Amino acid sequence: MRTWSFRSSFDVAAPRDRVHEVLVDLEGYPSWWRQVRAVAKLGADDALVVCRSALPYSLHLHLHAVHRRPDLLETAIDGDLVGVVRWRLAEVPSGTSLDFEQDVRVAGRLLTLGSYVARPALRWNHDRMMVGCREGLLSRVGG
């Protein structure tokens, strides 16, 4: 079974409470994170999300909120990927430091096969997704 770990860190010049507010609002993601194509809220803790970065395929994910603390947002992922994603938020003099962590395994036979063949391209694709996140979040929170 193919597993993936992704990490990304960046700072935004905005208070942690403001950054937390934006990151908790999944339904708002498509308005600032261009690779998040659609979000359907299923309840207080659950949503269906469609993501598409640079490569010509979309991921369909079911997200379930686990933690919404000021310093940690943690979400369980199911669907095309299965695992967990975390945002760690720390107050710093310039605003907020963000650490993104994603530990997942690929679900489904076709995606699993593709993950073996195209590992460098998939890492590059994820990097493009995180560039979109950083740019969109900076624009959204004014940092």
Mean per-residue pLDDT for 68-82?
97
Query: 3-141 architecture in CATH?
Result: 2-Layer Sandwich (3.30)
Q: Is residue 3 predicted with pLDDT exceeding 90?
A: no
Span 30-66, pLDDT tens digits: 999 999 999 999 999 999 999 999 988 899 999 999 9
Span 119-138, pLDDT tens digits: 788 889 899 999 999 999 99
Q: How confident is the model at residue 143 (pLDDT cuts 50, 70, 90)?
A: low
CA 1, CA 83: separation in Å to the nearest integer?
A: 13
Residue pair 107/114 in contact (Cβ under 8 Å)? The answer is no
CA 109, CA 30: separation in Å to the nearest integer?
A: 28
pLDDT at site 109: 60
pLDDT at site 110: 55
pLDDT at site 111: 59
pLDDT at site 119: 74
Domain boundaries of the chain, sorted by first residue = 3-141
